[in-house]
Structure 1
Amino acid sequence: MRVYGTKIKSDIDFPLDLSHETEIRYEVTLSSDIPCDIKNMITCGLPLYWAHGRHVYLYSDREFEGSHAGQPWCYEVEDVVRFYWVGGERTIYYEMGEKGDANLLGFWFIHLFLPLYMTLEDMYDFFHAGAVEVEGKPIFFIAPSMGGKSTMTDYFIKQGHRLISDDKVPTFIDDGSFMAVGSHPYHRPYRKFEELGYRVEKFTTHFKPIHAFYVLEGMEGDAEITIEEVKGIEKFALLLPSYLYMFSYLKPRRLKYLSGISNSIRVFRVHVPWNRERLGEVHDKIVAHSKLSAL
């Protein structure tokens, strides 16, 4: 399968349709054949977060202050699965928990584990955003939790726009351009626990320069729909909360990366009425604006 611009060679069949032939930057192997020495090297850990009704933990052989070549790691999803890997290597090992199955393994591996792994392995920088193509150009929807980015992404998909990502967008720099990478061709508009949602037919297949960020700001249902450009330090401040996995050891490098994005990609604030019946108006306004801003 291909997800996040990465070819995954696996010894388990996922009950998912990931058949899109997308561009590839990396190759990773997923295996159940866990070397004993990895487990024996793990000595400490910490609670990472609570997600989808389960506790998630991160373990290693040292206090968490960075990611180094040869460092052993374990990502545990309570009762479902443990993923092991060694820093700098491209093989991930899995061990099913008592409640684990192929469906749960697929969800946790694709939706939550891989973005963290790819961050720790310095493969991508991720944004918590919805992203689609407008006339072949990637635009990102940024908003706080429950701020409407999933609803907006869903509406754009249903109007025929290509999906890039509905939640976690990988990015990288190529010859000075900040590139968007497709995550996977599934969309979760209603955020049910432990499922990827429905499969979309139109999914991006190539890495493309990010065109613009649209920051969604909810307004009264009868409010005017407006789009205004954000400039200066406010651009940075609006994008920062959507930059995933701001670990302390990564902070200097990531602030530099975000500064580069702020200096090269335009950011717009969209006043969006809290009224689903007006989504068509918002869509048309953003599409027209995106076309004009490309000129």
Structure 2
Amino acid sequence: MMTVYGTKIKSDIDFPLDLSHETQTRYEIELSSKVPPELQKFITCGFPLYWAHGRKVYLYSDREFDESEEGQPWCYEVKELVKFYWVSGERIIYYVLDEKGNANLLSFWFIHLLLPLYMTLENMYDFLHAGAVEVEGKPILFIAPSMGGKSTMTDYFIKQRHSLISDDKIPTFIENGNFMAAGSHPYHRPYRKFEELGYHVKSFITGFKPIHAFYALERTESDAEITINEIKGVEKFDILSPNYLYMFSYLKPKRLIYLSQMLNAIKVFRVSVPWDINRLEEVHDVIVEHIQSKMI
């Protein structure tokens, strides 16, 4: 038994990872190698989903993909490695290892990529692409364009003994009017090596907590001043919307409402980050001081 994304996973394969932390849970899922033969037969059409970690990934079903309906069969294929099957509305995922697949690769693809997609299609969470840590009990999220410093900033905060919430994909949900963050898993990969979750983090969030603030990282010259300014109006939406994962067409109306409500409730700040690794300590201290100032 292990817990990831606030979900207990019962599996018939041993994951070569330390996922024994005790955290709050909202769901339970089973991972099984015993694929019902009829499920494989139902899969009749599909399309290339994306290219990731040097692999071709495909998504299949029994109908054109315009929504996810209860009882709908699905297959997520990582070419030459593994196929995952499930039926919408059920809490069991099946897998078949292909010729180049093994437990290590299955663990990576299941945790890092398959589960966030599955949980989105099953309407369990809304995922944001961000790094997230807890500062003085308050979850903060770092957002930035690709190669914009999210991983480096998250890594530095972890090394300053702030608890990790998520390395890359953050499951969010609404509870009692609050937008909550759930911990993903206690691994962090600052250098984004293909098909690895990175190093194990001891200090990991164990409960669901309201998101405190977003910090949008903006790269500046190495000798520039470090500043934090609140972003308001439609610019908040423009900055955060590209970091909303899996904006499938049928989900778009609901997700635009969710994102608008989130941004009405949570402040977004722009942090000017000098592009100099030696100034990370300064950036860290400015952000922590900003949180301690109770301006948010």
Tell me, yes or no, whether TM beats 0.5.
Answer: yes
Cα distance in 2 for partners of 1:148, 1:290 equals 20
Q: TM-score, normalised by structure 2?
A: 0.99
Q: For 1:171-210, what aligned pairs fall within 5 Å after superposition?
A: 171-210=172-211
- TM-score after normalising by structure 1: 0.99
**Deviation, structure 1 residue 233:** 1.0
Query: Counterpart amino acid of 1:155?
Result: Y
- Paired with 2:243 and 2:267, the residues of 1 have a C-alpha distance of 16
What fraction of aligned residue pairs are identical, expressed as a percent? 74
Aligned counterpart, 1:51: 52
- Structure 1 residue 92 corresponds to structure 2 residue 93: yes
Q: What residue is the counterpart of 1:160 in the other structure?
A: 161
Give the equivalent residue in structure 1 for 2:253.
252
In structure 2, distance between residues paired with 1:211 and 1:230: 15
| Structure 1 match to 2:29 | 28
> Structure 2 matches for 1:251-270, cutoff 5 A?
251-270=252-271
Corresponding residue for residue 38 of structure 2 = 37
State the SS of the aligned residue for 2:293.
Answer: helix
Q: Distance in 2 between matches of 1:175 and 1:67?
A: 26
Q: Which residue of 1 aligns with 2:73?
A: 72
Taking the aligned partners of 1:28 and 1:129, their CA distance within structure 2 comes to 24
Counterpart amino acid of residue 70 in structure 1 = G
2:141 is paired with a residue whose SS is strand
Runs of 5+ unmatched residues, structure 1:
none
| 1:131 and 2:155 correspond | no
Q: What is the SS of the residue equivalent to 1:293?
A: coil
Aligned amino acid, residue 280 of structure 1: E
Within the alignment, does 1:115 sit opposite 2:116 as a pair? Answer: yes
Question: Relative to 1, partners in 2 of residues 1:201 and 1:294: Cα closer, same or farther, differing over 3 Å?
Answer: farther
The two structures, once aligned, show a CA RMSD in angstroms of 0.7
Which secondary structure does the structure 2 equivalent of 1:103 belong to? helix
> What letter is aligned with 2:50?
Y
CA distance in 2, matches of 1:122, 1:283: 35
Question: d(CA) in 1 for partners of 2:82 and 2:293?
Answer: 48
Aligned equivalents of 1:243, 1:225: Cα separation in 2: 27
Q: Which runs of 4+ in 1 moved over 4 A?
A: none
